Structure 1
Amino acid sequence: MSSVNDALWQQLTEAEKADLLAQHAARNPATETPLLVESFADLVARDFPPQQFLVDGLIPAGQLIMLGGRGKAGKSWLVLQLIAAIDGGAPFLGHATQRGRVLYLALEDGRRRLNQRPKIMRWTPSADVDIAFKIGTFDAGGQGLAHIRQAIAARGYDLVVIDTLVKTLSGSADENNNTYMAAICNDLADMAHDSGAAILIVHHTSKQLVENPFDALRGASAIRNAYDVGMMLVRKHGEKEATLYTEARDFDLEDVTIRQIEGGAGWEYVGDASAVVRQRAGRVAADIVQLHGDGFTADELAELTGKTAHAIRASMKTAIKHGLVESRRVQLDGSRQWVDQFHLTAEGRQLWGRQL
């Protein structure tokens, strides 16, 4: 302490000194919290119960989950479908679920939209699902994080959905600031770990093309570092199918293909992540037949397209599997040779018509 500061300190009353010391301790909590050590051997000797799941093998209890995707990819439909499954104990994308209490922070959608969507899904929410459309900010002195912690303690929520992260930030927030976002996301992770509730954050992605879909998460890298389970919904414009990429700290996950239900009312499980690739290949084959006409052989289509006959046959095989193309075995005029000619099916014509 400098001589000037020391002189000022001596002029303070004992009450004023105590008040200043209390303020300093509040701003610097580490000064009041000693280092807590424990025996590593004792920790390893303990028996912890198995990890509990709200959605078997996908949504663990007591962990922070992030669902990312571009705008209008179908993220809000997916989380609403998850909430409905937890509410009723129904399967979610082919996974068994445990019934539980849910808090849904629908910060992007209004009351009218969320009045209609459950009706489209033919789901009537039970009294175990609560919803809120506004919350205090998670930064700039807002009480949003404290309010969630209090709500979990008071209501015993098993799942809290925050849709979306950006809607919890003040206008002055910088989501690219690692220090800033780490404080928020780590607080949410601690909240999940301490309470046993799963906390799911919905977040947007950037428009940049990246090899790893999780690298497209918008904002600071601290966001990705904080969550325990990550899910990324990736869908090409105009397609009903999407890939749900997944990653987790404590258990293995597989990427899957899901398809938007007719009318857009949620998603259904299709297969592993390669399924969407196979379906796209089938569409390409259907496009080739439509553009060049019915009744061509693989060799003829290869000559027309510049592809190899082997590649054409592989594409047609995929298209046939998905009911977009059919193969008709015919004998060439004046020859004993039989060949396969490819024709669009009614479904293939309908698909191609939708793409126009």
Structure 2
Amino acid sequence: MEQRADLLEILEQIHPADLDYQEWINIGMALKEEGYTAADWDRWSQRDPARYHSGECLRKWGSFHGSTEPVTAGTIVQMAIDHGWVPERDPGHELDWNDAIGERDDLVIIDKGWVEGKEIQEPKHWDPVKDLVRYLETLFEAGENVGYVTQSWEKPDEKGTRWLPTKGCWDRTAGQLIQELNRCNGDIGAVLGDYNQEAGAWIRFNPLDGKDCKNENVTDFRYALVESDSMELDQQNAMLRELELPIAALVFSGKKSLHAIVKIDAADYREYRQRVEYLYNICKKNGLKLDTQNKNPSRLSRMPGVIRNGKKQFLVDTNIGKDTWEEWQEWIESINDDLPDPESLETVWDNLPELSPCLIEGVLRKGHKMLIAGPSKAGKSFLQIELCIAIAEGKNWLQWQCARGRVMYVNLELDRASCLHRFRDVYQALGWKPEHLGSIDIWNLRGKSVPMDKLAPKLIRRAAKKDYVAIIIDPIYKVITGDENSADQMANFCNQFDKVCTELGCAVIYCHHHSKGSQGGKKSMDRASGSGVFARDPDALLDLIELEPTEALIEQEKNKAICKVCIQYLDAYFKWEDDLSQDDLCSKAQMLNYCEEHLDKWQMNALQKQIEDAVNDVKAKTAWRIEGTLREFPKFAPANVWFQYPVHRIDDTGCLNDIQPEDERPAWQKGKEARKKQAEIQKKNTQAKYNMAIESYRFGHNDIYPTVKELYEQMKSDAEAVGEKYPAEKTIWNSLKKLGYTTDKETKRIVPIPEKSGSGNEE
């Protein structure tokens, strides 16, 4: 009851006689929306006996059925303030997320109390036809249909008689009307039809399709009507000009208002409504009370060049204020921005603010932004999960120390179960004890993501008071707003990250994919897909590019993996003496020989299974180079890492240092590698032909190996059967050893060269 009494007390500050019809209706709607009764509205309305009609409030009340944008108590409060009521100051309280925040008072440009009125000068030598022609030429193209009304009808009301327009005409173009007016010898009625000089005449300010005069018949949403009849004319004139409204035509209505035809230039009806609401809101905030029934694009306005009740409806001015809607809106926003004022360096030189502490040592500060870019299969999601865990535990991420703190991981791509399992898998692969799981929050949004401009406020609301040091968003393609190749749209998109950083005081880390095609020849900041804004906006950019290890390096990695497995197996299941040298411990051949000599058959089988798994892991792992573009720190040397599912590990041996991405290799190196690869292919093909010929001979000779001459005859026969060339007998002699064969001294037959012990256990 206390809230109910308070609103009625505020309503008492408003006299119904001071309101127009629409404002009176809005009071009723607001009362109903807030749970009041029709009797409350009726009692207040009785304060205006001149316009009060018994039972009217009750009839109107029944027609208020609610709206998606209802009129609320705020309307009554604002009206009361506009009429001089000063609310008691609230000492304030801490806002909860469910609290409503009132409208901002920016967008206020003028104080009507300080605006000096600008008098309207009635033309002394008035040419009505010239007025109307100038109006038509200003607002319309020659081929556009114009709607106008000269016929009116009388409607009695409490104030006497009101003259209302009929639907009128819309069958002629502006060009036709101008041509006929220029030939009418001053008789406008001869062109448009005679009008009632008590009522005046009307004209529609937007072009029509020539079929009717409804909103759907408007062909170009070019103008809107701004009219205020509750202020003195000179005040209206001054305020319209102070607001710099882009007015195409300003017409005196012949009574108590000016009709400003304002340039809207909307693309469609939806945009027209948005711009008109913005326009009316600016006018309202600056004290220009408008007739809110004038919003529709097919609305009639007063026609210049006619008489209304003894007064002229004349054209006051054309093309005043800003030239276009865009220019005016930009001016409004620039005047009312919330940007800080410039500061003198001298005033802060001896008292510089402290820099934000590091979140990732030498890479990223707290409260800043970082982008991780790379191609698919680079394990970017795992890299970010590793970073989450490193921050939560306060450990190293790759080669960089992380400050410990609370972190949120925004998962936009994985289903909930997969995401949670990934965190456990990474913890286990890193070998870290999960001591700070409470410092990691995961927001699973797969299938529920929204564009970043909608996600940012939701994220800020959920993250407030959580003291996050970082928020990781993975991946951003799920929330991109607009065309990623558009610089201005992507600048607006990236601004959402700034809002999150600013509002929460935490770092924002996100990943993005590379563009299609080869990337090795590009600079790191040019590899990310879409606009260059992506790479230039964050404070730190880490870019991954894949490296192609040589076969020798892969063999080296296999050797290391086999040695490691052997040592771990011996440590776990066999009491072995330290009888191997350091070199032996790094040789797979020596380690396998040692194991074969000291382990039984079953132990060797178990060891072989572990070796196969280790070799398969080596084959599956990929090599990557991480380059950094940093705004706050010196550039670091590229970091080389191995990605072995599910974690990335720094290459601490330096074996990847000399590998260059494909596009960065010099031409001579590419040629050398190509020739070497071609030679290997040719060797394999030759080996296959020799093997096939040998096996063909053995198949027909009771598994006996051929002599060189017999092999020559067999290969000659095979080649002639398919029309191919065959090697000479001497060539076969020279090639045998290279292909793994020799000749038996006694039988002179070809036999395979025996393999060395342990050499067949690599995989």
Please say whether Structure 1 and Structure 2 have the same fold, judged by a TM-score greater than 0.5.
yes
Counterpart pick for 1:245 among 606, 623, 627: 627
The answer to whether the 8 A contact 2:364-2:370 is kept is yes
Equivalenced residue count is 287
Q: What's the CA shift string for 1:156-177, capped at 9, x where partnerless?
A: 211011111110135xx21111
Separation in 2 of the partners of 1:348 and 1:21?
88
SS at match of 1:181: helix
In the other structure, the counterpart of 1:92 is 397
1:138 is the counterpart of 2:452: yes
Taking structure 1 as the reference length, what is the TM-score of the superposition?
0.68
Counterpart pick for 1:81 among 378, 386, 411: 386
Counterpart pick for 1:165 among 476, 483, 489: 476
How large is the RMSD of aligned CA atoms in angstroms? 3.9
The answer to whether the 8 A contact 1:89-1:99 is kept is yes
The answer to whether the 8 A contact 1:103-1:160 is kept is yes
C-alpha displacement of 1:4: 4.7
* Letter aligned with residue 257 of structure 1: N
Q: What's the CA shift string for 1:42-91, capped at 9, x where partnerless?
A: 23332222441122112321111000011121100100001011111122
Separation in 1 of the partners of 2:471 and 2:757?
46
C-alpha displacement of 1:257: 0.4
Separation in 2 of the partners of 1:198 and 1:41?
30
The answer to whether the 8 A contact 1:241-1:276 is kept is no
The answer to whether the 8 A contact 1:256-1:273 is kept is no
1:177 is the counterpart of 2:486: yes
1:265 is the counterpart of 2:579: no
Distance 1:177 1:115, change over 3 A: same
The answer to whether the 8 A contact 1:66-1:200 is kept is yes
In the other structure, the counterpart of 1:339 is none
Counterpart pick for 2:495 among 186, 201, 205: 186
Distance 1:175 1:5, change over 3 A: farther
C-alpha displacement of 1:149: 2.8
Counterpart pick for 1:198 among 503, 507, 513: 507
SS at match of 2:400: coil
Separation in 2 of the partners of 1:250 and 1:5?
59
1:21 is the counterpart of 2:283: yes
The answer to whether the 8 A contact 1:106-1:163 is kept is yes
The answer to whether the 8 A contact 1:53-1:60 is kept is yes
In the other structure, the counterpart of 2:249 is 3
The answer to whether the 8 A contact 1:189-1:226 is kept is no
The answer to whether the 8 A contact 1:257-1:272 is kept is no
Distance 1:87 1:223, change over 3 A: same
Separation in 1 of the partners of 2:513 and 2:757?
39
What stretches of structure 2 of length at least 5 have no aligned partner?
1-246, 261-277, 286-327, 549-619, 662-668, 685-755
The answer to whether the 8 A contact 1:25-1:32 is kept is no
Greater RCO, 1 or 2 (C-alpha within 8 Å, sep 6+): 1
SS at match of 1:246: strand
Q: What's the CA shift string for 1:224-250, capped at 9, x where partnerless?
A: 221110001112476522101111112
Distance 1:40 1:77, change over 3 A: same
Distance 1:246 1:274, change over 3 A: farther
Distance 1:17 1:45, change over 3 A: same
Over the matched positions of the two proteins, sequence identity in percent amounts to: 20
In the other structure, the counterpart of 1:277 is 658
What stretches of structure 1 of length at least 5 have no aligned partner?
294-343
For structure 1, which segment, 41-50 or 227-236, has the greater mean C-alpha deviation from structure 2 after superposition?
41-50
Taking structure 2 as the reference length, what is the TM-score of the superposition?
0.34
* Letter aligned with residue 358 of structure 2: F
Counterpart pick for 1:114 among 408, 419, 435: 419
C-alpha displacement of 1:31: 2.6
Separation in 1 of the partners of 2:282 and 2:258?
13
The answer to whether the 8 A contact 2:356-2:367 is kept is no
The answer to whether the 8 A contact 1:68-1:232 is kept is yes
Separation in 2 of the partners of 1:174 and 1:2?
35
Separation in 1 of the partners of 2:502 and 2:480?
22
C-alpha displacement of 1:182: 0.3
SS at match of 2:458: helix
Separation in 2 of the partners of 1:42 and 1:155?
35
Separation in 2 of the partners of 1:266 and 1:256?
15
Separation in 2 of the partners of 1:200 and 1:25?
34
Separation in 2 of the partners of 1:345 and 1:214?
51
For structure 1, which segment, 113-122 or 223-232, has the greater mean C-alpha deviation from structure 2 after superposition?
113-122
1:234 is the counterpart of 2:545: yes
Decide which structure has the larger Cα Rg and report it.
Answer: 2
The answer to whether the 8 A contact 1:55-1:98 is kept is yes
Distance 1:345 1:250, change over 3 A: farther
* Letter aligned with residue 98 of structure 1: A
The answer to whether the 8 A contact 2:408-2:442 is kept is yes
Separation in 2 of the partners of 1:86 and 1:75?
17
Distance 1:211 1:194, change over 3 A: same
* Letter aligned with residue 283 of structure 2: L
For structure 1, which segment, 147-156 or 104-113, has the greater mean C-alpha deviation from structure 2 after superposition?
147-156
The answer to whether the 8 A contact 1:77-1:265 is kept is yes
Distance 1:228 1:44, change over 3 A: same
Q: What's the CA shift string for 1:164-217, capped at 9, x where partnerless?
A: 1110135xx211111000012133135425643110111011122242132110
Separation in 2 of the partners of 1:347 and 1:64?
52
Separation in 2 of the partners of 1:5 and 1:132?
58
* Letter aligned with residue 642 of structure 2: R
